[in-house]
Amino acid sequence: MKEAMFYKRSIDNKVNCFLCNHRCIINDGKRGICGVRENNNGTLYSLVYGKAIASHIDPIEKKPLNHFLPGSLSYSIATVGCNFRCMFCQNWDISQRPKEYGRIEGKSLSPDEIVENALMGKCNSISYTYTEPTIFFEYAYDTGKLARRRGLRNVFVTNGFMTEDAIDIVKRFLDAANIDLKAFTERFYRDMCGAHLEPVLRSIKKMKKLGIWIEITTLIIPKVNDSDDELKGIAEFIANEVGIDTPWHVSRFHPDYKYTDSYSTPIETLHRAKKIGVESGLRYIYVGNVPGDHNENTYCPECGELLIERSLFYVSKNKIKNDRCPKCNAKIGGIWK
């Protein structure tokens, strides 16, 4: 165990955790909503520090990040646990393990070992992903600082529910983030995720303001968050509050976990979402979880030139040079080097 960051002691050995926007008040001997931060006699501990439930080398496009070092490899790690309880979670077997099975599991893997593994694997970055990196913040923080010193970039794949206090610290080592904007209604976040919308919107804007490269993903679920109004709300928020060069990934849902009575998202719905995004002013919209769809590719928003050709998570062609389209010299938003 490692003493946690972002908490205050209160009376009767209670602690107030302010790592994420649940801001749990935790009684002695109990854990927060995430299931992996425990109050032991007035001291809050992370139960997952150094315990990796997953560690893999992935293409950066799998995060998904399409405008951040395309074609590069990223060393991906996760621990068990999550501060959301999404009924449709695609990684529920590890994200919900502490709650479903009451177990904290993972192999011993130190921050030093993670960085060495990344370098040996010829990775350009380390991604904190698969579950929610906020809940293993201390582990990511120590790893991220080491990675920076060794020339590696750092990436969060996150639900964006961390507090502003945490974001102020994460900016010290974080280079990019893919943030889930799961829907655009408080009701969805409350009923489907056990969380709230507004803190996510604040996090997206703050991380963008701090200079962290941002891409947004929306998993589109049939008859839940796929209306024109909701998709337009998301697209206009990204365009107006984050920037028209911010990539928006609209991904196909597959029934899973506690939401198995639905059906996979029709591809036509994803194409409709892209059309709404274009009409809202967004320049880069990607269709995810549909191998072979041409909307995996990056095109110049000015002249239409095919710039990056992808097949699933792999880049077969990249024509961007010095952040520019080689045909019309338009600047293409992203981190390319």
pLDDT at residue 312, as a whole number = 83
DSSP strand pairing (73-78 vs 107-108)? unpaired
Query: Is the Cβ–Cβ distance between 179 and 159 less than 8 Å?
Result: yes
> Counting Cβ atoms within 10 Å, is residue 12 exposed (0-12), middle (13-18) or buried (19+)?
exposed
- Residue 119, token pair as written in the block: 């370098």
Cα torsion angle, 35, 41, 42, 47, sign: negative
**C-alpha span between 144 and 27 (Å, rounded):** 31
What's the 3-state SS for the chain? CEECCCEEECHHHCEEECCECCCCEECCCCECCCCCEEEECCEEEECCCCEECEEEEEEHHHCCCCCECCCCEEEEEECCCCCCCCCCCCCHHHHCHHHHCCCCCCEECCHHHHHHHHHHCCCCEEEECCCCHHHHHHHHHHHHHHHHHCCCEEEEEECCCECHHHHHHHCCCCCEEEEECCCCCHHHHHHHHCCCCHHHHHHHHHHHHCCCEEEEEEEECCCCCCCHHHHHHHHHHHHHHHCCCCCEEEEECCCECCECCCCCCCHHHHHHHHHHHHHCCCCCEEEECCCCCHHHCEECCCCCCEEEEEECCEEEEECCECCECCCCCCECCCECC
Q: What pLDDT sits at residue 259?
A: 93
- List the beta bridge partners of residue 177: 156, 214
Note the pLDDT of residue 311: 87
pLDDT number for residue 337: 85
CA distance 172 to 170: 5
The full set of domains in the chain, from first to last, is 2-46 (no CATH), 54-318 (3.20.20.70)
Tens-level pLDDT at each residue, the chain (337 residues): 899 999 999 888 999 999 999 999 999 999 999 999 999 999 999 999 999 999 999 999 999 999 999 999 999 999 999 999 999 999 999 999 999 988 899 999 999 999 999 999 999 999 999 999 999 999 999 999 999 999 999 999 999 999 999 999 999 999 999 999 999 999 999 999 999 999 999 999 999 999 999 999 999 999 999 999 999 999 999 999 999 999 999 999 999 999 999 999 999 999 999 999 999 999 999 999 898 888 999 999 999 999 999 988 899 999 999 999 999 999 999 999 8
pTM, entire model: 0.96
CA distance 81 to 102: 10
pLDDT at 209: 97
CB–CB of 175/153 below 8 Å?
Answer: yes
302: left (phi over 0), alpha (psi -120 to 50) or beta: alpha
What are the φ/ψ torsions at residue 137 (nearest 5 degrees)? -55, -45
pLDDT of residue 252: 96
